[in-house]
Structure 1
């Protein structure tokens, strides 16, 4: 067999000119390279197709695995984001509570400064501090 590539269209045209079974046999006997060449080409094409199919199956399996991993990590990311959002909300609530407590403490200190006798201011200061305890601390289970 020759290494020179054959022209498929020319070989097909030659085969189409032969219309009787005995003539095809003579053509094959006269031009054995045609059959052998195209059989080798078909074998190579099948090997290429089989390799491509194997690669496809491998890539497809790998893709499915990567997709599952992506879904897993996307779920984890969503869970972490939800926890972060909840914690941010809790931080904002605590910051608001701290601001209120600072305001009440400031009011108690102002009350102390308004009285000439600091001992007399103690009762007003305790009212402010009791208010802070009752509204902002007692609901969390803190004890005085």
Structure 2
């Protein structure tokens, strides 16, 4: 494309000027309802779709690698208390001002879900150990009571 072009929606019956429907810029950006598209596709309004495919990498299955270090829960609790958001997740103010890239956000959220799964597995192992210790102590107490 060598020149910008506009598709105006209107009619010839009323004197009201038409409304900009689509703007195609010479840089390849296309706008729907916006005169100055700053992205390959900029839409000033709601988008409805059956499906949107987004590429995001690296996909966070690396969380399950043996060399991946989880933040200790105490450190995570301190971070959340101080910052009011999860590590590596944009705070609300940033999202409100700049928006959010859905592919990157989905990647980050999956990483957090996978990390939470690992925390739960650790907690479950700890609880099983505690239950075994409690059962062992109960047996010892029962034996002591019987030997009185």
Bigger radius of gyration: 1
Q: Aligning the two structures, in what range does the TM-score lie when normalised by the shorter sequence?
A: 0.3 to 0.5
State the TM-score, normalized to the length of structure 2: 0.38
Structure ranking higher in strand proportion: 2
TM-score by length of 1: 0.39
Determine which structure has the larger helix proportion and give its number: 1
